[in-house]
Amino acid sequence: MTDFTLILGGARSGKSRLAEARIQALPGHQAPVYLATAQAFDAEMAERIAHHRAQRADAGWRTVEAPLALSDALGAQPPDAPVLIDCLTLWLSNQMLAGADLPAQVDALEHAILARAAPVVAVANEVGLGIVPDNALARRFRDAAGRLNQRLAARAGRVILVTAGLPLALKGGL
């Protein structure tokens, strides 16, 4: 069974920091791979991406940009390299904006995760805790994100919820 951890939380909850620390603490693996799904649609996001990329480079990560072809990018990584996916929620948004076949994309992603020999840690936002969105697209996104999180949580050995930087094990311990 694949060593798969799903880390959920709100924006700026500390989920990415926890995911990075978990991967970096693994003994005896190749340099970790950071599969980044963000796209820079404005200058502020481009700056964020550049900042995060520079931080990861200093820490020895190999970054692969995979805003759409995430399952292909995951499958192309060395079999013994641990992989961090950050984040599934942005990837889902990218898929929806591209008009992709969501069920097929989610199937492909699930299979790519489960096919890995090395550990995989995936980060996703928990978007279902707020008010019901006021438009159809936002409601469709919230629902799709909830379904994606549930599906992958069912397959993960560990599921961790992070709030205010504090991890809470929902499945499989910390």
Q: Where are the domains of the chain?
A: 4-160
Rounded to 5°, angle at Cα 121 from 156 and 65: 130
Residue with tokens 């205010």: 164
- Which pTM does this prediction carry? 0.93
How confident is the model over 138-150, as a mean pLDDT? 96
User: pLDDT for 1-45, tens place per residue?
Assistant: 579 999 999 988 999 999 999 999 988 767 899 999 988 777 887
Strands (E), the chain: 4-9, 33-36, 62-65, 83-86, 120-125, 158-163, 166-171
pLDDT at 48: 77
Q: Which CATH architecture has domain 4-160?
A: 3-Layer(aba) Sandwich (3.40)
Secondary structure class of 78 (helix, strand, coil):
coil
Mind listing the pLDDT tens digit for each residue in 37-94?
988 777 887 787 777 777 776 677 899 999 999 999 999 999 999 999 999 999 999 9
Residues annotated catalytic, as ranges: 52
> Which pLDDT value is given to residue 36?
94
* pLDDT score at 138: 93
